[in-house]
A = this chain, B = another copy of it.
Amino acid sequence: MEVSPPRHLKARKQPRQARSASTIDAIFEATIQVLIAEGTHRLTTTRVAERAGVSVGTMYQYFPHKQSLLYALNERYLDRLAERVEMTCRTHHGRPTGEMVEALIAAYWEAKTERSDVTRALYSSAVELDNEALIDAFAKRMDAATRAMLLSAPNARYEDIDLVNLTLLSVIFGTVRNVFERNLPSSDQQAICEELKRMCLAYLAMAGGEVFPPIQAT
The interface of chain A, by Cβ under 8 A from chain B, is: 40-41, 123-124, 127-128, 132, 135-136, 139, 163-164, 166-167, 170-171, 173-179, 181-183, 188, 191-192, 195-196, 198-200, 202-203, 205-206
A167 touches B199 (CB 8 A): yes
A206 touches B198 (CB 8 A): yes
18 interchain pairs (CB within 8 A)? A40-B128, A41-B128, A124-B127, A127-B127, A135-B181, A136-B182, A163-B195, A170-B178, A170-B182, A170-B192, A173-B178, A174-B174, A174-B177, A174-B178, A175-B175, A195-B203, A202-B205, A202-B206
A188–B174 alpha-carbon span in the complex (Å): 16
A116–B175 alpha-carbon span in the complex (Å): 20
Count identical subunits in the complex.
2
A130–B162 alpha-carbon span in the complex (Å): 38
Shortest CB–CB separation between residue A98 and chain B, in angstroms?
Answer: 14
A167 touches B182 (CB 8 A): no
Which residues in B have their C-beta under 8 angstroms from that of A174?
Answer: 171, 173-179
Shortest CB–CB separation between residue A184 and chain B, in angstroms?
Answer: 8
Q: Enumerate the 4 nearest inter-chain pairs by beta-carbon distance, A residue then B residue, closest first.
A: A174-B178, A174-B174, A127-B127, A202-B202
20 more A-B contacts (CB under 8 A) besides A167-B199, A171-B174? A40-B127, A41-B128, A124-B127, A139-B182, A166-B191, A167-B192, A167-B196, A170-B175, A171-B175, A171-B178, A173-B174, A174-B174, A174-B178, A177-B177, A177-B178, A195-B203, A199-B199, A199-B200, A199-B202, A203-B203
Which residues in B have their C-beta under 8 angstroms from that of A164?
Answer: 195
Shortest CB–CB separation between residue A203 and chain B, in angstroms?
Answer: 4
Q: Is the interface of A mostly helix, strand, loop or mixed?
A: helix
B181 touches A166 (CB 8 A): no
A132 touches B183 (CB 8 A): yes
Shortest CB–CB separation between residue A24 and chain B, in angstroms?
Answer: 24
Most buried by B among A41, A128, A175: A175
A196 touches B171 (CB 8 A): yes
Which residues in B have their C-beta under 8 angstroms from that of A166?
Answer: 188, 191-192
